[in-house]
Amino acid sequence: SRTAILLACSVAGILQGANALPSAGTIQHVAGAHALATNPHALRLRKSEDAAAPMRLNGGFWKPKPKPKPVEKSKLRKFLCTAAVGFIAGAIGGLACDVFLWPIETVKTRLQTGGTTGIRLSHPIETLTELFEGCYVAIVFAPIFWGLFFAAYEPVRNELVDYFGKNVASYCYIVSAAIALTFCFIVRVPVEIIKTRMMTGVDSDFFTGFSRIIKSEGFFGLYRGFWSLGLREFPFTIIEMVCYENLRGFWASHCGKAANAPLSMVETSVIGSICDAFSGAVTNPFDVVKSRLMNHAENDHGMIKVAQGVYEDSGFTGFMDGGFARTLWMGFGGLIFWPALEWAQEFFSKIIN
């Protein structure tokens, strides 16, 4: 009996002592903390492990920290970045194209206004020098109005396509081109007027033409021919942009690429040249009226009167004066402009974005 009582008390003591013992997890945690406190190498190792895989203690278990959500660009910032890339790319493409094609544009303008071409095959150096005269206008102003155009076109197009969907993308291109063209006309119309008069010999240089218009016609004289230029540029630009965007997307899909995937320089050149040459040929009658209207320094000639004068002088064929030179000019322009634009967009978008 005494032996049984002693045995029972022993068992009870053992059980009570077991309940007071720390758990295996607690022992492991305490041992790990002691090791970290007494071993600097282990502490550095733990820090490096925590940096590689951030963990936190929660209820006795290590769990991963929630990953921070990626910071998304605000719509305004995205819009401005696209506009900045468009401005730089448009400026580069416009500068390369307009400077290179200045002589062809000079010949085209002289043919449309009834003047001599100035081409003398017996004196090639003098001819080239004469045709390049006044080219500084393109160097200074072409980057500005082409930059303004694509600074407006690119972000507006993206917003419209995202909002209305790709099924009506062509209509989005039309609206975007019209908005962008109106925006860049602030600079382009005065430059086109003075440039046309310089090419035809009415004014000797840009500053002479500018001061003469201001003195004789006032500030609004700089915008003579605004609607005639719009009558040419709106159809041309809409046809050009819709053709380029759709033909580019079709060719990219044909090659197994995404519609907005970058193309090679050769592919971009060919597509751009075809679209620009076609658009230039179709809109040549508007260009004839624009050139003759802008060439008049002080005489008040409206678009209707100028068109009637063209018809009385040469019939319907008069509206195609300079058509070959314009088509050639626009075709060569597409070979230069679009590759330069696409390259600049791809390059500067990586930097700005």
* Predicted pLDDT of residue 58: 46
Burial per residue of 223-241, b for 16 or more beta-carbon CB atoms within 10 angstroms, e otherwise:
bbbbebbbbbbbebbbbbb
Q: How far apart are CA 106 and CA 128, in angstroms?
A: 11
- Do the beta carbons of residue 268 and residue 342 sit within 8 Å? yes
Q: Please say if the pLDDT value at position 300 is more than 60.
A: no
Q: How far apart are CA 140 and CA 137, in angstroms?
A: 5
**Helices 102-112 and 75-100, packing angle to 10 deg:** 70
pLDDT-based confidence at residue 7 (cuts at 50, 70, 90): low
The model's pLDDT over 76-112, given as tens digits with 9 standing for 90+, comes to 899 999 999 999 999 999 998 888 888 877 777 777 6
Q: How far apart are CA 106 and CA 113, in angstroms?
A: 11
- As a whole-number percent, the residues of the chain with pLDDT over 70 amount to 73
Q: How far apart are CA 308 and CA 213, in angstroms?
A: 25
The model's pLDDT over 12-71, given as tens digits with 9 standing for 90+, comes to 554 455 444 445 454 444 455 545 455 555 545 454 544 444 444 444 445 555 665 554
The model's pLDDT over 167-206, given as tens digits with 9 standing for 90+, comes to 999 999 999 999 999 989 888 888 888 887 777 777 778 8
| 329 phi, psi to nearest 5 deg | -60, -50
Question: Considering only CA atoms, which of 336, 352, 343, 349 is closest in space to residue 100?
Answer: 336
Q: pTM surpassing 0.85? A: no
| 162 phi, psi to nearest 5 deg | -65, -35
CB burial of residue 194 (10 Å; 0-12, 13-18, 19+):
buried
Per-chain mean pLDDT for the chain: 78
The model's pLDDT over 234-253, given as tens digits with 9 standing for 90+, comes to 999 999 999 999 999 999 98
Calculate Rg over the CA atoms of the chain. 36
Distance of CA 260 to the CA centre of its chain: 12
Identity (one letter) of the amino acid at 329? W
pLDDT-based confidence at residue 301 (cuts at 50, 70, 90): low
The model's pLDDT over 280-289, given as tens digits with 9 standing for 90+, comes to 999 988 888 8
Q: How far apart are CA 204 and CA 215, in angstroms?
A: 16
Region of residue 244 (left: phi > 0; alpha: psi -120 to 50; beta: else): alpha
pLDDT-based confidence at residue 73 (cuts at 50, 70, 90): low
- As a whole-number percent, the residues of the chain with pLDDT over 90 amount to 29
Question: Considering only CA atoms, which of 194, 152, 144 is closest in space to residue 175?
Answer: 152
Locus of tokens 């090419």: 199
**124 or 47, which is more confident?**
124
